[in-house]
């Protein structure tokens, strides 16, 4: 089952390698990983997307908690949550395909953020399956490059991941 | 700055080996008296010494090595300490900050290399950060589930020319590190309820009882309930071997009665143990009828291999005290709840198992016999070694024979590499123990294979006049490897024997300035051991080379893929016929 795990971690050198090292060492997979600053400059926030059963995710969260720099761990998939990912796609946009590509971007509520005479760069934001659907919906011969951010997520409602 | 912080932390010994990146630190050691530095002959030995010092005392052992090869040589010892949850501080010199990442002379990314085998690590960024890092390192190493902590210290941050105000912090506060101490009350209540309802209970205790200093409490709890106790390799001594309710070690080479008691139990109370594969055999067949209560300071150990019905996260001593209190409360409410008759039946059943295939039932052990059986040598040692002696071991058959046949009565007396299984551990471990307890009698039981992995330390033993007694069960082969080859590889002894190229151990230890003795015949066994422990040799290191039967296997032995009660009992018997 797909899991989205959010982690607050001390913003220190080497902390990230402990997390990725843990996944490698214990044979857990990482489908995507995003890391970024937070409003508190001493903390980073990670979102890890992984596939695990209940026992597996219990071990993953416990071992994440064991890492000395990890401050908080939340398995977002245990409760209602939102996930979002950003994708930049560079496509060939020439001749007839140019108008078609513009239409497809509109259908998926994407924005064209960069234009040349022969290409568009389209930005899409959404749940990750929406982004995949876009790629599947357009002619694969026209796709020049795809850059995806990996998912980030947050719990719905009043539930928060923060230090008291 | 670093040495001052170590002094303020109350460090007695540093086990180490100098080199370029650590020279500023060594100069600071030279200029002080408080901490004694022990010069080893190989960095791996320094880590085992510090590790064993910690296992004997409960205080973190301290290692100092230089960068590059010094640091990488320490890795095996760090991994050994990590697997057995031993608190240790490893200070590794590093090339100067401005050279890090340039492939400088003797540069290794120590933080990276050690990462999977440390509890935590620090790269020192500045002189002023040293006291805080040292304080945190000791706190992390010794608290919660203990483990090794690496402090990688670039040469420029130890430069005596750079000064910073020094103040050693009195406390540590880390928002991201607060290990649980007390068990959840609701779970403790549930656990005690299950214990009182049990008809076939068994305590299964491990190294966590040592680390948590919980032996006294454990004995109180087991005595109050009248339940039998077994332990892992790491838990031997947590419960006295002379106690009538002691079952011996469990697991792969555990006793018949311990493994049967586990398999047929209806309530397994695991304390400070981690359901290691060497214990459980096939986890799906593990203790089929039992409610599993699991007390451990590390939440990640709970339900990792075997799902716990009642998980209790906390320190062993604290949780057992909570259990005792709760037990009094529940017994006061309903004094007859514990079914004593059922427990007595259970103990009688266990006794019957013990009389059937217990270790004492091997008739060969009592007969004088040549070649000597390794078990006979261990039993003779147990009779002759001073009471309360520390025993360290290496890894292999001799280790299992000691675990089975040496009756440990007190905690922290049996020191061996259980988790990682590091050959070469025994001798330096014995040295570390001797430093921890200078007047004590320290015995290292080893095999000729393991001993040759760190024998250079005989020189260190002479330098510091360590009167160790080394008992070598010499079967002229890598015995455990050979046993597996006998049992599973059609007796093809691929690279497990070397009879023709063994050294003469007696002259070898003699050349290092120690005493060497050799035993060929059963009749010489006890007299020679007595000679080793005699007053004449009180201040000397004595090495006793005992030629034992090379054909002997360690039994019982778990049958792979089976339940705990599925065992080979000898070369010709197994339990499969019973079931």
Q: Minimal CA–CA distance to A108: which of A82, A81, A132? A: A132
- Choosing from B1, B9, B15, B43, the catalytic residue is B43
Residues 6+ apart with CB under 8 A from B481: B396, B496
Residue bearing the bigger pLDDT, A19 or A128: A19
Q: What is the dihedral of CA B40, B45, B47, B49, to 10 degrees?
A: -80
pLDDT in tens, B434-465: 999 999 999 999 999 999 999 999 999 999 99
CB A151 within 8 A of CB A32: yes
Residue A26 lies in a domain: yes
**Mean pLDDT, range B294-309, rounded to an integer:** 94
- Asked whether the beta carbons of residue B116 and residue A21 sit closer than 8 angstroms, the reply is yes
User: Is residue A163 a part of any domain in this protein?
Assistant: no
Element (H, E) at B187: helix B185-197
Domains of chain A: total: 2
Domains and CATH numbers, chain B: 2-158 (3.40.50.970), 185-357 (3.40.50.1220), 372-549 (3.40.50.970)
Q: Is the per-residue pLDDT at B579 higher than 70?
A: no
Asked, for residue A87, whether it belongs to a domain, the answer is yes
A139 in helix, strand or coil? Answer: coil
Q: Same structural domain for residues A119 and A100? A: yes
Residue A113 sits in the same domain as residue A44:
no
The shortest C-alpha distance from B299 to chain A (Å) reads 7
Indicate whether A164 belongs to any domain.
Answer: no
- Cα-Cα-Cα-Cα torsion B428, B429, B434, B435, nearest 10 degrees, comes to 80
Exposure on the CB side of residue B119, measured as CA atoms within 13 A: 29
Q: Is the pLDDT of residue B353 over 90?
A: yes
Domain boundary among A62, A79, A96: A79
Interface predicted TM-score (ipTM) of this complex, two decimals: 0.89
Neighbours of B303 (CB within 10 A): 18
The alpha carbons of chain A give a radius of gyration, in whole angstroms, of: 19
Whether B195 is a known active-site residue: answer: no
Prediction pTM value = 0.94
Most B CBs within 10 Å: which of A12, A18, A66, as the mutation test of the B interface?
A66
pLDDT in tens, B152-182: 999 999 999 998 999 999 999 999 999 999 9
Using a pLDDT cut of 70, give the percent of chain B over it.
99
Is A2 a residue whose pLDDT tops 60? yes
| Structure confidence at residue B576 (pLDDT) | 81
Tell me the average pLDDT of chain A: 93
Quick one: average pLDDT of A88-111?
94
Tell me the pairing of strands B542-547 and B469-474: parallel
Domain boundary among A28, A58, A79: A79
Is A31 found in the same domain as A75? yes
Torsion on CA atoms B389, B393, B396, B401, rounded to nearest 10: 0
pLDDT in tens, A9-21: 999 888 999 999 9
Same domain, A6 and A44: yes
Provide the residue range defining the domain that includes A43. Answer: 2-79
Whether residues A97 and A43 fall in one domain: no
**Chain A residue with Cα closest to B125:** A13
Question: Residue B535: is its pLDDT beyond 80?
Answer: yes
Q: What is the pLDDT of residue A163?
A: 78
Query: What integer best gives the mean pLDDT of chain B?
Result: 96
Residues A72 and A54 in one domain: yes
Question: How far does B45 lie from chain A, in Å, by closest CA?
Answer: 26
Per-residue confidence (pLDDT) for residue B544, from 0 to 100: 98
The Cα of B431 is separated from the nearest Cα of chain A by a number of Å equal to 32
Tell me whether residue B43 is one of the annotated catalytic residues.
yes
pLDDT at A162 over 90: no
CATH number at residue A23: 3.30.70.260
Residues A106, A93 share a domain:
yes
Q: Is B315 marked active-site?
A: no
Looking at the domain assignment, is residue A160 inside a domain? no
pLDDT in tens, B474-520: 999 999 999 999 999 999 999 999 988 999 999 999 999 999 999 99
- Contact pairs from chain A to chain B, CB under 8 Å: 36
* B227-274: pLDDT as tens digits: 999 999 999 999 999 999 999 999 999 999 999 999 999 999 999 999
Active-site residue (options: B155, B469, B482, B540): B155
Domain membership of residue A50 (yes or no) is: yes
**pLDDT given for residue A17 in this prediction:** 93
Q: Please say if B262 is a catalytic residue.
A: no
Mean pLDDT value of segment A2-7:
94
Tokens 């050799």, residue?
B518
Q: Which two tokens stand for residue B353?
A: 């198992």
* pLDDT band, very low/low/confident/very high, at B577 (cuts 50, 70, 90): low
Average pLDDT over residues B301-318: 95
């Amino acid at each position: 089952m797909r899991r989205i795990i959010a982690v607050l971690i001390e913003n220190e050198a080497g902390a990230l390698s402990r997390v990725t090292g843990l996944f490698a060492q214990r044979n857990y997979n990482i489908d995507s990983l995003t890391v970024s600053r937070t409003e508190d400059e001493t903390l980073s926030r990670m979102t890890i997307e992984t596939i695990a059963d209940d026992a597996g995710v219990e071990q993953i969260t416990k071992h994440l908690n064991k890492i000395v720099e990890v401050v908080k761990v939340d398995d977002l998939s245990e409760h209602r949550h939102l996930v979002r990912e950003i994708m930049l796609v560079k496509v060939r946009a020439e001749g007839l395909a140019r108008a078609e590509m513009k239409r497809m971007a509109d259908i998926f509520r994407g924005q064209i953020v960069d234009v040349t005479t022969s290409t568009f760069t389209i930005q899409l934001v959404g749940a990750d399956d929406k982004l995949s659907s876009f790629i599947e919906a357009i002619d694969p011969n026209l796709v020049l490059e795809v850059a995806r951010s990996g998912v980030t997520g947050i719990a719905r409602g009043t539930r928060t991941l923060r230090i008291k | 700055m670093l040495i001052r912080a170590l002094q303020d932390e109350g460090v007695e010994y540093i086990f180490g080996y100098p080199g370029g990146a650590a020279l500023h630190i060594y100069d600071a050691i030279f200029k002080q008296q408080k901490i004694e530095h022990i010069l080893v002959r190989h960095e791996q030995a320094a880590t085992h010494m510090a590790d064993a010092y910690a296992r004997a005392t409960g205080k973190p052992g301290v290692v100092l090595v230089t960068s590059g090869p010094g640091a990488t040589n320490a890795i095996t010892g760090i991994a050994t300490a990590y697997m057995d949850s031993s608190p240790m501080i490893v200070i590794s010199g590093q090339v100067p900050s401005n050279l890090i990442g340039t492939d400088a002379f003797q540069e290794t990314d120590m933080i990276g290399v050690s990462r999977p085998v440390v509890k935590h690590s620090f790269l020192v960024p500045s002189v002023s950060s040293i006291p805080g890092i040292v304080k945190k390192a000791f706190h992390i190493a010794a608290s919660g589930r203990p483990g090794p902590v690496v402090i990688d210290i670039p040469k420029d941050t130890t430069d005596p020319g750079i000064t910073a105000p020094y103040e050693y912090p009195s406390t540590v506060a880390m928002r991201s590190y607060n290990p649980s101490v007390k068990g959840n009350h609701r779970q403790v209540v549930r656990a005690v309820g299950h214990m009182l309802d049990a008809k076939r209970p068994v305590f299964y205790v491990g190294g966590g009882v040592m680390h948590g200093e919980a032996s006294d409490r454990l004995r109180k709890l087991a005595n109050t309930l009248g339940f039998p106790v077994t332990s892992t390799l790491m838990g031997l001594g947590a419960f006295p071997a002379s106690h009538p309710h002691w079952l011996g070690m469990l697991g792969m080479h555990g006793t018949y009665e311990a493994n049967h008691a586990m398999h047929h139990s209806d309530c397994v109370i695991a304390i400070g143990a981690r359901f290691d594969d060497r214990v459980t055999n096939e986890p799906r067949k593990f203790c089929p009828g039992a409610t599993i209560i699991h007390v451990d300071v590390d939440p990640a150990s709970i339900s990792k291999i075997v799902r716990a019905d009642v998980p209790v996260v906390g320190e062993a001593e604290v949780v057992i005290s909570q259990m005792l209190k709760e037990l009094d409360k529940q017994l006061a409410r309903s004094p007859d709840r514990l079914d004593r008759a059922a427990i007595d039946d259970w103990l009688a059943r266990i006794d019957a198992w013990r009389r059937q295939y217990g270790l004492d039932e091997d008739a060969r052990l009592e007969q004088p016999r040549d070649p000597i059986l390794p078990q006979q040598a261990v039993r003779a040692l147990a009779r002759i070694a001073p009471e309360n002696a520390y025993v360290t071991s290496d890894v292999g058959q001799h280790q299992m024979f000691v675990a089975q046949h040496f009756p440990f009565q007190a905690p922290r007396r049996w020191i061996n590499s259980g988790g990682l299984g590091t050959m070469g551990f025994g001798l330096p471990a014995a040295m570390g123990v001797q430093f921890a307890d200078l007047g004590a009698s320290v015995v290292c039981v080893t095999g000729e294979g393991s001993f040759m992995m760190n024998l250079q330390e005989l020189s260190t033993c002479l330098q510091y006049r360590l009167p160790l007694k080394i008992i070598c069960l010499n079967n002229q082969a890598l015995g455990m490897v050979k046993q597996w080859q006998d049992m599973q590889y059609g007796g093809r002894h691929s690279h497990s024997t070397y009879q023709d190229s063994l050294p003469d151990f007696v002259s070898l230890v003699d050349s290092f300035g120690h005493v060497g003795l050799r035993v060929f015949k059963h009749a010489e066994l006890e007299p020679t051991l007595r000679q080793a422990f005699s007053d004449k040799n009180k201040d000397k290191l004595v090495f006793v080379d005992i030629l034992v039967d090379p054909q002997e296997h360690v039994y019982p032995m778990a049958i792979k893929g089976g339940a705990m009660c599925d065992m080979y009992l000898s070369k010709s018997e197994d339990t499969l016929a019973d079931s």
